Structures are given as C-alpha cells and as structure tokens.
Amino acid sequence: MPTLSTGERVHVTKIVDRRTPAADVVVLGVRAPQLARFAKPGQFVMVVPPAGEVASVALGIYEAQGDRMSVLFFVSGKRTTELARLQEGDELTITGPLGNGFFLDDAPSEVGIVAGGVGVASVLTSAQELLKNGCRVQLYYGARTQERLVDMDLFARAGCEVHAATDDGSFGYRGVVTDLLARAARPPRLLLACGPSPMLRAVARVAAEIDIPAQLSLEETFACGVGGCWGCVVPIVRTSAQAPSFPPAVLGGSDVVNARVCKEGPVFWAHELRW
Ligand SMILES: Cc1cc2nc3c(=O)[nH]c(=O)nc-3n(C[C@H](O)[C@H](O)[C@H](O)COP(=O)(O)OP(=O)(O)OC[C@H]3O[C@@H](n4cnc5c(N)ncnc54)[C@H](O)[C@@H]3O)c2cc1C
Ligand code: FES
C-alpha cells in the first residue's frame, strides 16, 4: 500500500466539526484528505497545540473517511486542555499517519477488541475495517463509570457486539473489562487491545490462557513521536518482524532488543513483548 513521504505527513488542517460525547471528552473533526486516505487502523497522529507553548501530543486516529479524520481525547493536561478550546474553523497542524497500526490481514472470522478508557479512541477504524471484511467483532469496553463510556452507540451502529464494564457497576459488568472478556460465551480467535498498561498486561494473560494471539497498542509517553529520540522504547524479542534493524541494543546479552513504540509500534504482538 502506498504511504506518504515525511514532508507529506504534515497537514495544516481546519476543524470542521466539534462535539463533546461526555464531560471532558472532545472529538475534533478536521478536513485532511491525504491523512484520511492513507491512515491505517491503529495508527496515530501528533497534534500541535496552536499557541506553540507546549509540545505536540500523540492521539489515535479515531475516524478516517473521505476528506475527514477525527481525534477523540480526554482532557487530562495542558495539551488536551488547549486543544479542547478549539472551535470549528480554527486551524490545526497534524503530523501523520504515524507508526504501525493493527495487523488485520488474515484476521479470523471472530475478533475481540478490548478498549480501556482513552484506548477507545484508537480502535473504531479497526472495528470498521474488520466488519467490512465480514468478520464478527466483539467490543469489550471498560471505563471507571458510565459517564466515561463514550460513543458505544457508534460501535453498535457499525455492527459490533458491545460488552461494557465499569469499575463502579454504574453500567454493564461491575469490575475490570478483562474479567468480562475472560467470561466470553464465544471466545474470539484474535484480540486487539488499547488501554492502560495494567489492562494490556491482563489482556495478554487472558489471551495466553485461552491460547489466542493478541495485538496490544501501547500507551507510552512520547517526546518526538517520530522515531528520533529513542525515548519510548519497549523490549521485544529479536526475532520479531518489528525488531529495528539498526543498532538494536541487546539487553544483558539476551535475545531481546529495544523497539520504539512510536515507530515500530504502537501495536505489538503480546507474545513478542518482554516487558
Ligand atoms: C500512540 C498514542 C495514542 C494516544 N491516543 C490518545 C487518544 O486518542 N486520546 C487521548 O485522550 N489520549 C491519547 N493518548 C494519550 C495522550 O497522548 C496523553 O494522555 C498525553 O499526555 C495528554 O497530554 P496532556 O498535555 O493533555 O496531558 P499531560 O500533562 O501529559 O498529562 C497526562 C496525564 O498525566 C497526569 N499528570 C500530568 N502531570 C502530572 C504530575 N506532575 N503528576 C502526576 N500526574 C500527572 C495527568 O493528570 C494526566 O492524567 C495517546 C498516547 C499514545 C502514546
Ligand atoms: S518518542 Fe522519540 S523515538 Fe519515540
């Protein structure tokens, strides 16, 4: 599949729509035809808060269709607070698509997607692609409370079978989403997951227990976001197809090398991670 050159990945866009699906959660839609066209499920963008006072922030590509792409973010710190103030018509510079997304070629007929908290922002395009290819998609979506479960109807309308869990039991299963996954009546044959590290580790455990592969999208803190600073590494097995070809730092003489989450990832096979 063709990709964009480095220069072509910088897009000066305009916000065409803005909505707040929940308190402190914002979806910004921008006009970015090239970005929408070349984005693959699970890839991300670096978004520059326009005042120029704070660094760019990594956000998943939430939707990508026609001339429009969107990001969904939880207002959590300086950069997302600044982005949340933007309105329709404002300009926004976005670099992307970046990283390797989910590996969806040869996906089995039944796929489980596990999303925790902001992780939901990185899985909608994967669900849409799998459904388009005739797969059944079970979404396991966990959040602290019902108010923090966003856009479930969007996933349901797309054709996903939605299973929700909340920590406080205000909606769906009371408890962590991976417990809900472990109780699946019809276990999926592949798992895709995005969310906080403890959830991803639990997904890896469930996948190992039921003996199915899992792809995990890691939420690392990025500095450059484009592979230049090696500030976001995670250990993976040297034999992985994602192992960087240069200069792989060997940890303790083992068969483990460092891969950059922003460049070789953010998606890795659970069985290849050594974290
Ligand atoms: C590949 C990738 C994709 C991502 N996609 C999305 C996405 O689609 N949507 C989304 O919402 N997020 C996403 N994130 C996460 C997002 O990039 C981070 O949350 C980012 O740090 C937010 O920037 P900020 O400046 O608003 O918040 P930051 O200031 O960086 O704060 C982020 C978190 O750290 C806490 N924090 C900040 N300072 C301190 C401190 N001094 N002590 C303790 N805690 C502190 C904040 O309370 C908050 O919870 C993604 C991350 C990655 C790596
Ligand atoms: S954040 Fe710089 S290499 Fe990943």
Beta bridge partners of 19: 27
- What pLDDT sits at residue 8? 83
Per-residue pLDDT of the chain (275 residues; tens, 9 = 90+): 567 777 688 899 999 999 999 999 999 999 999 999 999 999 999 999 888 888 899 999 999 999 999 999 999 999 999 999 999 999 999 999 999 999 999 999 999 999 999 999 999 999 999 999 999 999 999 999 999 999 999 999 999 999 999 999 999 999 999 999 999 989 999 999 999 999 999 999 999 999 999 999 998 889 999 999 999 999 999 889 999 876 555 555 678 889 999 999 999 999 999 98
Q: Which atom of ligand 1 is nearest to the CA of 99?
A: 1
- Secondary structure class of 57 (helix, strand, coil): strand
Tell me if 93 sits within 8 A of 119, measured CB to CB.
no
What's the 153 CA to ligand 1 centre distance in angstroms? 25
Q: In CATH, which superfamily holds the domain spanning 7-98? A: Translation factors (2.40.30.10)
Q: CB count, 10 Å around CB of 212? A: 18
Q: Which helix (H) or strand (E) holds 216?
A: strand 214-217
What's the 218 CA to ligand 1 centre distance in angstroms? 13
89: which 2 tokens? 């018509």
Which of 230, 234, 246, 258, when mutated, tests ligand 2's pocket best, judged by the most ligand atoms within 8 Å of its CB?
230
What's the 144 CA to ligand 1 centre distance in angstroms? 17
Beta-sheet pairing, 10-22 with 25-31: antiparallel
Ligand having the closest approach to the CA of 44: 1
Cβ–ligand 2 contact at 262 (below 6 Å) = yes
d(CA 180, CA 136): 18
Q: Which atom of ligand 2 is nearest to the CA of 262?
A: 4
Ligand having the closest approach to the CA of 42: 1
Backbone conformation region of residue 179, classed left if phi is above 0, alpha if psi is from -120 to 50, else beta: alpha
How far is Cα of residue 17 from the mean position of the Cα atoms in its chain? 21
Domain boundaries, the chain: 7-98, 110-217, 233-267
- What pLDDT sits at residue 164? 97
The amino acid that residue 78 corresponds to is K
- What pLDDT sits at residue 248? 52
Beta-sheet pairing, 136-143 with 161-166: parallel
* Predicted model pTM: 0.94
Burial of 127 (0-12, 13-18, 19+ CB in 10 A): buried
- What pLDDT sits at residue 54? 83
User: E strands along 43-109, which residues?
Assistant: 44-48, 57-60, 63-65, 68-74, 91-98
- What pLDDT sits at residue 247? 59
Which of 75, 76, 79, when mutated, tests ligand 1's pocket best, judged by the most ligand atoms within 8 Å of its CB?
76
- What pLDDT sits at residue 221? 87
- Secondary structure class of 175 (helix, strand, coil): coil
What's the 132 CA to ligand 1 centre distance in angstroms? 32
Q: CB count, 10 Å around CB of 67? A: 13
What's the 269 CA to ligand 2 centre distance in angstroms? 19
The fold adopted by the segment(s) 110-217 is Rossmann fold (3.40.50)
34: which 2 tokens? 């090239």
- What pLDDT sits at residue 104? 97
d(CA 253, CA 255): 7
